[in-house]
Chains A and B, each alone.
Chain A
Amino acid sequence: MKKISAKTVEYIAKLANIPVTEKEKQELAEGFNKTLEVIDALFKVDVSNILTIYQVTGMENIFREDEIDEEKMLSQDQALANAKRKYQGYFVVDQILAED
């Protein structure tokens, strides 16, 4: 695969919502390129007659009724107990829309 630049790292980091410093961008790009070399080894394998595998132990999809499982319900207090910011029983999140 083609090499990853610090600019690509910046773009992906934005998608992943990971804050990175200038220094980190450089370091991550270097680390990535080392890792991509390892990944590149893969493409020497001929997989033209091999099916993609999505499970390994013979599993099949399992469905359940769309019902409330009270055992797995949290009370409002429990749900909010670990939140750093809350207001009158709500989670507080950053504003995402501009004011004007």
Chain B
Amino acid sequence: MESHVLSNIVVASLLAGGVLALLAARRSDLWRAAGGELLRRRPIALAVIAAFVLIALLDSVSWIGGGDPSAEGSVLALHQPRTVIDRLFPADFKERSYSAPLADFEFYDGAPLANPGAHLLGTDILGRDVLYLALKGARVALLIGGLTSLIVIPLALLMGVTAGYFGGRVDDVVFFVMSTLASIPTLLLLIALIMALGRGPVQVCVAMGVTGWVGFCRIVRGETFKLRELDYVQAARALGVSEARIIFRHILPNLMHLVVITFVLLFSGLVLSEAILSYLGIGIDGSWGQMIDQARDELARDPIIWWNLCAASAALFCLILAVNFVGDAVRDILDPRTLREKQ
């Protein structure tokens, strides 16, 4: 199967999974109330996140064809899969080098542009449109946060619940693995993993997953310890309910609020660490971190190139800020400890 078809299927199934999870959450009064409260408290931040998600989704669905065979530069368009975002821009939307936002001429040698006045945010050193690159970065950022969370959350739930529920030897082993991973400074462990696994988007996400699950696992383990001793779990056990059923019916649903909180709080940290990895040369191609890294010499030029750096930083900042604000609200709403403090 061709890779773009596969990626379309992955995107479609992720989308379906997300919609199913939302529908399931809507059926529960508690989750519906929490969702309403979140929407009331953080409408702007949620809208910003929704916009980024939409851009990323539009940039993930691709198909071949659709170019005008007579137009220049559309040879590529006819044979390569292009996403919706790609199609918003003309196929030959390129210059030879830097041009300022909305400029008609090249920035340094003054040659006329192929698309005068059309580059809203200018072009980079290779003449690529900066707005286009910044929009493309949204998909990479959400990929980092999303794929890593898909690794972290199931792994942490599996290990944490097993350790917390069964205790004893199992707990000792899990706790030792956690202590070992947690005792290596995060950035160093991340670097070591990527160096050993090799470079690439999946490797980076796996490395971030391996470094990221420990913190969440610790929370899950502690919470499971507490839940295990609660009366209704004891009652279920006395009635002869199987262990698996207790875990799935009584333990896991009571950990879901932690999953949501962790997912949101983890997300911004992951995207920011990818920016650091990009500087170290082991990040993911096309990320905002990589754009910032490429732009760092441009401020030393004379006259300076500012639009590349500004576009990537602004996009990164907006997403992280929105996620941080939503994360705080999610924690306030879902975490009963903070609720207790407020009474």
Are A and B co-members of a single complex? no
